[in-house]
Amino acid sequence: MASGDGGPAVDSGRRRRLRPGDRSLWRHPDFLRLWTGETISQFGTQVTLLGLPLIAVLLLKANAFQVGLLGTVEFLPFILFGLPAGAWVDRLRRRPILIVGDVGRALSLGSIPIVYEIGHLTLLQLYVVAFVNGVLTVFFDVAYQSYLPSLVDRDQLVEGNAKLEGSRAVAQLAGPDHRRRLQLRRLGPLRLPHPQSRAARGKPRARDQAEDPH
């Protein structure tokens, strides 16, 4: 009988053979692989949100409009494909979608340093990479949410969803901090004048006031 993954029931026999002490998802290798891939994907997405605009500004000297357009292109797939992706994913096997999503995003992002070394990196490529990554992220997110019920038993869904959403929340909280660190490493620390030095420059020294007859 077909499962939600579009193929035979996923390891149903093996799941029935699990002992009561083995019910924790920490002992579920298939879920651990899914959880690991999703966690890496979430952190990679957060870093990419800064990486592409930073490359556009520092390497391609993009202006404010071009950087804003890049951000729009990154989120455009969520608007265009957010709703129909669910219907399309229901007709396909989930696991291949997850694999293609991760591999496709890695290849598209990996093309940037390769093309840059050749000397042909352009804003158009960044726009294409941003759009492709957005599309793959939409399908990946939809697929992993519907793949979980076919991977674990019903009484494990709460624990599985809690772990996956926990990774998403941690990535969203830690992402801005990682992006700031990357930016500081690339641009260097912001050097502000010391308050005492500003005060010293703002007030004439006592000896100068004494020498000034006025």
- Top mean pLDDT of 9-23, 111-125, 198-212 is at 111-125
Spell out the CATH class of 25-207: mainly alpha
Helix axis angle, 157-187 to 29-58, nearest 10°: 30
What are the boundaries of each domain within the chain?
25-207
- Burial code (b: 16+ CB inside 10 Å, e: under 16) for 75-110 equals eebeeebeeebeeebeeebbbebbeebbebbeebbe
Model's pTM, two decimal places?
Answer: 0.66
pLDDT at residue 76 in the model: 93
Six token digits for residue 28: 């579920």
* Element (DSSP H or E) covering residue 189: none
Q: What is the pLDDT of residues 170-205, one digit of tens each?
A: 887 875 555 555 555 544 443 333 334 344 444 444
Q: Stretch 145-172: mean pLDDT, rounded?
A: 85
- Top mean pLDDT of 6-20, 111-125, 149-163, 164-178 is at 111-125
pLDDT at residue 72 in the model: 93
- Contact assessment for residue 70 and residue 126, using Cβ atoms and an 8 Å cutoff: yes
Compute the mean pLDDT over every residue in the chain, rounded to the nearest whole number.
76
Residues 48 and 136: their CA atoms lie apart, in Å, by 14
- Contact assessment for residue 44 and residue 105, using Cβ atoms and an 8 Å cutoff: yes
Only one residue has tokens 């149903």, namely: 12
